[in-house]
């Protein structure tokens, strides 16, 4: 018999990490959730460093108009609903993206760096953006991947297309 190893999709980590989910939530793993819970964090401000793709979730007072609630679950994880923020930065990953995080005790802030290839509103090099080096040919037309497409899909569809 030829057996093959079943590869797990979920990654189990003991260090703090954040997962950005396609539906617009930022999830904290168990280690990060414990840190937030022990620090008494119930609401956070979302801070964004556009040039470094740096994300920080800083403890905020409950009445702060720019704060987001942290939802703790019984399974030792926590989430923040951040759909508008993710739209604001042009987040485009169709799958979950997990990144390491670090806790700044002095500023009561969880920090992480997001992968630039999934962020549309950041400065990038030509190789990161995968910009075609040629212009569209004469008679080429632009096509849209539809509402659920990503920038990569759009770029692939918009290679030179001859007229029929």
Residue 139's beta-bridge partner residues? none
**Per-residue pLDDT at 126:** 46
**Residue 147 predicted with pLDDT over 80:** no
**Per-residue pLDDT at 157:** 54
pLDDT in tens, 79-99: 999 999 999 999 999 999 999
pTM score of the predicted model:
0.66
pLDDT in tens, 22-67: 999 999 999 999 999 999 999 999 999 999 999 999 999 988 999 9
Q: How far apart are CA 86 and CA 64, in angstroms?
A: 20
Distance (Å) of CA 61 to CA 18, 58, 66, 104: 22, 10, 10, 17
């Amino acid at each position: 018999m030829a057996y093959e190893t079943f590869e797990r999709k979920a990654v189990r980590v003991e260090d703090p990490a954040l997962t950005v989910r396609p539906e617009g939530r930022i999830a904290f793993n168990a280690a990060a959730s414990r840190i937030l819970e022990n620090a008494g964090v119930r609401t956070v401000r979302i801070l964004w460093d556009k040039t470094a793709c740096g994300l920080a979730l800083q403890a905020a007072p409950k009445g702060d108009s720019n704060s987001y609630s942290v939802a703790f679950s019984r399974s030792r994880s926590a989430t923040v609903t951040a759909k508008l923020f993710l739209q604001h930065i042009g987040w485009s990953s169709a799958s979950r993206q997990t990144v390491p995080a670090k806790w700044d005790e002095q500023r009561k802030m969880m920090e992480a760096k997001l992968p630039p290839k999934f962020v549309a509103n950041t400065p990038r090099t030509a190789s990161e953006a995968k910009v075609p080096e040629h212009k569209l040919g004469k008679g080429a037309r632009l096509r849209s991947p539809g509402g659920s497409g990503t920038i990569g899909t759009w770029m692939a569809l918009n290679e030179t297309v001859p007229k029929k």
